[in-house]
Amino acid sequence: MASQTWTRVKSRSRLADTKDMGEPKIGMNDKDRELIALAEKSSQNDAVSAMKQQMKASVQQMGSGDNLRHAILTLVVEEQYDRAIREIENYLESKPDFPQFRERAERYVGYCVELIHAVKAKRSFPGWNALNMSKQRDLFEKALDHFEDLKLTLTKIEVIEKEVRVEDVRSTVWVIKTAAICVFALVVFVFMREFLRSILPTMGSLLESSTDSLVNLIFDKLGI
């Protein structure tokens, strides 16, 4: 897909390939130089425009949605790189209740920042028109590759967040179940103590001491 897009770009701007044009000829007037400069600028603008359209198409394939991927990729498409970096870094800091999320996602966030810088560098390469067609094509395709890599990495971050949330819910359920079992065991024990005390009064003090120890143990385990 990237190669086909690049072929269309070059077919519209072959005049701007400076390698084919060679050095300015002797006797070239200012108007001629201005036309050549304009053609060269047009060549880079065509390539950047083609990159943008390709990236937009990639975002549209995900469908509409209010999620991290869509927000960051849209900002990158519109060349708002600094804002995209701030947004993804703020996203990492916005989950203080899930410390495992930061531990697992931090390296992916760092990689996303690197990819955003890489896309920016390829799209705004200052010496674009001094490169031959092969080098220009390489920059074009690498910019799109970085963008797709960014898309996949953002997906990994979203998956990590979902996994952390599921683990948190499971942990909460486990605590509730454990507390319910402990309370049930305590009720049964107290009932049995009272029952045995009524039958064997001499065992009352021993059972009471054992009950206090069990209650303290349960509260310690529950952190109460």
Asked which of 133, 149, 168 is the last residue of a domain, the reply is 168
Asked which of 168, 186, 203 is the last residue of a domain, the reply is 168
Rounded alpha-carbon distances, angstroms, from residue 185 to 42, 181, 189, 193, 223? 80, 6, 6, 12, 17
> In this structure, are 185 and 96 located in the same domain?
no
> Is residue 158's pLDDT more than 70?
yes
CA angle 84, 89, 95 (to 5 degrees): 130
Q: What is the pTM of this model?
A: 0.63
Whole-angstrom distance, CA of residue 220 vs CA of residue 192: 22
- Spacing of C-alpha 47 from chain mean position: 27
64-79 pLDDT, tens digit per residue, is 777 889 999 999 999 9
CA proximity to 124, closest of 139, 141, 113: 139
> In this structure, are 32 and 138 located in the same domain?
yes
Q: Are the C-beta atoms of residues 191 and 110 closer than 8 Å to each other?
A: no
> In this structure, are 19 and 119 located in the same domain?
yes
> Is residue 22's pLDDT more than 50?
no
> In this structure, are 32 and 115 located in the same domain?
yes
Most confident of 66-70, 144-148, 208-212: 144-148
pLDDT: is 51 or 128 the higher one?
A: 51
CA proximity to 158, closest of 65, 82, 53: 65
Q: By residue range, what is the domain housing residue 16? A: 2-168
pLDDT band at 206, cuts 50/70/90?
A: low
CA proximity to 79, closest of 55, 43, 110: 55
> In this structure, are 147 and 191 located in the same domain?
no
Q: Are the C-beta atoms of residues 146 and 122 closer than 8 Å to each other?
A: yes
> In this structure, are 106 and 183 located in the same domain?
no
pLDDT: is 15 or 30 the higher one?
A: 30
Residues 6+ apart with CB under 8 A from 92: 101, 102, 105, 106, 109
> In this structure, are 179 and 138 located in the same domain?
no
Could you write out the DSSP letters of every residue in 90-157? HHHHT-TT-HHHHHHHHHHHHHHHHHHHHHHHHHT-TTGGGS-HHHHHHHHHHHHHHHHHHHHHHHHH
CA angle 101, 103, 108 (to 5 degrees): 85
Most confident of 41-50, 57-66, 104-113: 104-113
Per-residue pLDDT, averaged over 129-147, amounts to: 85
> In this structure, are 56 and 119 located in the same domain?
yes
